[in-house]
């Protein structure tokens, strides 16, 4: 069987599935249950400085977006970092690490952009025996208004400065957690690498308001008639997270920088996609909050089976496999031609493909009086809309036209694939076209 053992920046765990810093990792009781369920590691809920306590709202803390079947697609939270005393968290972390020495235990930290503050918190967590620290530069609500969280993560110079302090005051591996609430995710990642950080983790939550109560006119979650922006997570943010992970993985300036992938990981397949795009491991929150800690067991068995089928001996063989296939738009092969094909035996005659194509696309699907739907090759541009709206998986597919055949839409011969489209004379942006 494939070996799921993870060695992420020298931090070993029995599998690459960690719980992200969040409510599920806020206390010893939860973390012990998580480890018993099979999680390879845990990032303890973010710790702050000793002193005046953090005060969370004692009303609704979560808003939600659901699918048509009431499946939770996105979760918005207005919860702050841990509101439990620092010394209590440290004592609990020490006990947990002692009892589970083979599991990864990471301390998530957030204090003001002040060198002494970072020095003190690093000294405080050192005695717990934790395996590393994660610098929380991501939270977009509550703490950011105090000059922490995403207020730091949005300024690469701050990211670099704090990372440099942390590398000075601790020998533990330093992971920089990045905010997605930024124009170019590569900039803070570059700053983290240049300052000596051992890895980055991303994405943290996305600044959001998920809904508005149309009776009280208060954003949800509503606390005594008022609402605030919060952090959005869950399956809905996965596409954004995948892109940002890939951007860092393929950026020459951050080449080789280890990545911990976060954002909507719900199944083993989600995890495999993050890893294929360059993540060395993944962190999970919303899936655990939705289905409980034992959801990791499906992730472990599914990833193990997939790796066996692919012939991968270790997770390292999966990491980054998709990165070379992620290119800029102008590097796509414009000589590649495909056409939609409808499996008449699988078709349920619902007409979604026809309505979508006729009204909003290229009028490339015909409908007979007895509701037989067929593709008109001379109009089809292979946009894939019909595939995406069809309720029957596999009923509509895209079929590549072989080089040398005539595209009925243009009357031109389909050419062979070009190894380097950027130099092809048909590319308006190439030197050859000039």
Q: Would residue 408 count as lying in a domain?
A: yes
> Which pLDDT value is given to residue 416?
65
- Specify whether 265 is located in the same domain as 309: yes
Distances (CA, A) of 266 to 86, 295, 299: 31, 8, 8
Which residues does 267 contact at the CB level (< 8 Å), separation at least 6? Answer: 287, 298, 299, 302
Q: Do 34 and 25 touch, CB atoms closer than 8 A?
A: yes
CB 253 within 8 A of CB 190: yes
Shared-domain flag, residues 222 and 262: yes
331, 374 contact by CB (below 8 A): no
In the annotation, is 383 catalytic?
Answer: no
Residues 223-268 pLDDT 10s: 888 888 888 899 999 999 999 999 999 999 999 999 999 999 999 9
Residue found by looking up tokens 């008449």 in the block: 344
Task: Give long-range contacts, CB 8 A cutoff, 24+ apart: 187-190.
Answer: 187/156, 188/137, 188/153, 188/154, 188/155, 188/156, 188/159, 189/248, 189/251, 189/254, 189/257, 190/156, 190/251, 190/253, 190/254
Average pLDDT for residues 337-359, to the nearest whole number?
97
pLDDT (0 to 100) of residue 140 = 76
Question: Does 321 share its domain with 358?
Answer: no
Whole-angstrom Cα distance, residue 30 to residue 288? 11
CA trace torsion 328, 8, 167, 170 (10° rounding): 160
Average pLDDT of span 47-55: 78
> Last residue of some domain: 291, 325, 359?
325
Could you say which of 139, 347, 353, 380 is catalytic? 139
Tell me: do 278 and 360 sit in the same domain: no
The string of pLDDT tens digits covering residues 133-191 is 999 998 877 677 677 778 888 899 999 999 999 999 999 999 999 999 999 999 999 99
How much is the pLDDT for 306? 97
Tell whether 153 is covered by a domain.
Answer: yes
Residue 302 sits in the same domain as residue 355: no
Question: By CB neighbour count within 10 A (0-12 exposed, 13-18 middle, 19+ buried), where does 432 fall?
Answer: exposed
pLDDT > 90: what percent of the chain? 75
Strands 17-19 and 211-212: unpaired
Domain of residue 366: give its range. Answer: 347-423
**Whether residue 304 sits in one domain with residue 261:** yes
Query: Which run of H or of E encompasses 305?
Result: helix 295-310
Per DSSP, the three-state class of 178 is: coil
pLDDT band of residue 117 (cuts 50, 70, 90) is very high
* DSSP helix, strand, coil percent of the chain (3-state; round to 5): 35, 20, 45
pLDDT winner (highest mean) among 59-68, 151-160, 371-380, 403-412:
371-380
Q: How confident is residue 419, by pLDDT bands cut at 50, 70 and 90? A: very low
Q: For residue 403, is pLDDT > 90?
A: no
The length of the chain is 434
CB 395 within 8 A of CB 343: yes
Task: Give the residue-averaged pLDDT of 404-419.
Answer: 75
Cα 305 from Cα 369, distance rounded (Å): 47
**Token pair belonging to 178:** 């990045």
Mean per-residue pLDDT, 402-407: 85
The yes-or-no verdict on residue 51 having pLDDT over 70 is no
Return the structure tokens found at 117. 């503050």
Rounded Cα–Cα distance for residues 276 and 315 (Å) = 10
pLDDT score recorded for residue 227: 84
Distance of CA 392 to the CA centre of its chain: 27
> What band does 353 get if pLDDT is binned at 50, 70 and 90?
very high
244 and 99 in a common domain: yes
Residues 377 and 230 occupy one common structural domain: no
The half-sphere exposure of 348 on its side-chain side, counting CA atoms within 13 A, is 7
203 upstream amide cis, omega within 30 of 0: yes
Average confidence score pLDDT of the chain: 91
**Is 130 in the same domain as 254?**
yes
Q: Give yes or no: residues 134 and 180 share one domain.
A: yes
The CATH number of the domain holding residue 128 is: 3.20.20.70
Q: What is the mean pLDDT of residues 10-15?
A: 98
Q: Out of 104-113, 377-386, 425-434, which region has the weakest mean confidence (pLDDT)?
A: 425-434
At 52 the pLDDT is 64
Q: Is 124 helix (H, G, I), strand (E, B) or coil?
A: helix
The token pair that represents 367 in the structure block:
């409908």
Number of domains in the chain: 2
How would you class 48 by CB atoms within 10 Å of its CB: exposed for 0-12, middle for 13-18, buried for 19 or more?
buried
Q: Among residues of the chain, what percentage have pLDDT more than 70?
A: 94
Report whether 409 contacts 379 (CB < 8 A).
yes
What's the pLDDT band for 54 if we cut at 50, 70, 90?
confident
Considering the domain architecture, whether residues 272 and 370 belong to the same structural domain is answered as: no
How would DSSP label each residue in 60-71?
--EEEEE-TT--
Sign (positive/negative) of CA torsion 145, 54, 140, 128? positive
The larger pLDDT score, comparing residue 54 to residue 20, is at 20
Instruction: Assess if residue 338 is contained within a domain.
Output: no
In-domain check, residue 330: no
Residue 421 has a pLDDT of: 44
CA 82 – CA 77 distance, rounded (Å) = 14
Q: Is 341 helix (H, G, I), strand (E, B) or coil?
A: strand
CATH, residue 391: 3.30.70.20
The set of residues, in sequence order, having a beta carbon less than 8 Å from that of 282 and lying 6+ positions away, is 16, 17, 18, 260, 261, 262, 265, 270, 271, 274, 275
> Residue 34: inside a domain, yes or no?
yes
């Amino acid at each position: 069987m494939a070996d799921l053992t993870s060695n992420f920046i020298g931090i070993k765990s029995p599998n690459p599935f960690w719980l992200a810093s969040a409510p599920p990792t806020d206390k010893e009781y939860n973390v012990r249950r998580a480890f018993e369920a099979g999680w390879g590691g845990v990032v303890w809920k973010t710790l702050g400085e000793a002193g005046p306590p953090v005060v969370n709202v004692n009303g609704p803390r979560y808003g939600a977006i659901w699918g048509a079947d009431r499946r939770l697609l996105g979760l918005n939270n207005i919860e702050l970092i841990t509101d439990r005393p620092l010394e209590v968290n440290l004592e609990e972390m020490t006990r947990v690490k002692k009892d589970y020495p083979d599991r990864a235990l990471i301390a998530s930290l957030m204090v003001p952009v002040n060198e002494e503050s970072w020095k003190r918190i690093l000294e405080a967590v050192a005695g717990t025996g934790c395996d590393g620290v994660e610098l929380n530069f991501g939270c977009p609500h509550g703490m950011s208004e105090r000059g922490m969280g995403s207020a730091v993560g949005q300024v690469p110079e701050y990211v670099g400065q704090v990372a440099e302090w942390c590398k000075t005051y601790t020998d533990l591996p330093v992971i920089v957690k990045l905010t997605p609430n930024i124009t170019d995710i590569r900039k803070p990642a570059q700053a983290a690498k240049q300052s000596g950080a051992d890895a980055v983790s991303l994405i943290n939550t996305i600044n959001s308001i998920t809904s508005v109560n149309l009776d009280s006119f208060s954003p949800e979650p509503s606390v005594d008639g008022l609402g605030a922006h919060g952090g959005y997570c869950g399956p809905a943010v996965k596409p954004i997270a995948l892109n940002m992970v890939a951007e860092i993985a393929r950026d020459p300036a951050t080449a080789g920088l280890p990545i911990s992938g976060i954002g909507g990981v719900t199944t083993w397949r989600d995890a495999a996609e993050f890893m294929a795009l360059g993540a060395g491991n993944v962190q999970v929150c919303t899936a655990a909050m939705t289905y409980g800690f034992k959801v990791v067991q499906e992730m472990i068995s599914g990833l193990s089976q997939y790796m066996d089928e692919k012939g991968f001996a270790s997770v390292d063989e999966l990491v980054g496999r998709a990165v070379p296939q992620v290119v800029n738009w102008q590097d796509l092969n414009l000589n590649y031609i495909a056409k939609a094909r409808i499996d008449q035996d699988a078709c349920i005659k619902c007409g979604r493909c026809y309505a979508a194509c006729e009204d909003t696309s290229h009028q490339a699907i015909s409908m007979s009086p007895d509701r037989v739907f067929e593709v008109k090759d001379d109009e089809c541009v292979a946009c894939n809309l019909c595939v995406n709206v069809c309720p029957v998986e596999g009923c509509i597919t895209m079929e590549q036209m072989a080089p040398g055949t005539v595209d009925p839409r243009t009357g031109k011969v389909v050419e062979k694939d070009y190894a380097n489209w950027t130099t092809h004379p048909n590319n308006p942006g190439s030197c050859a076209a000039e």
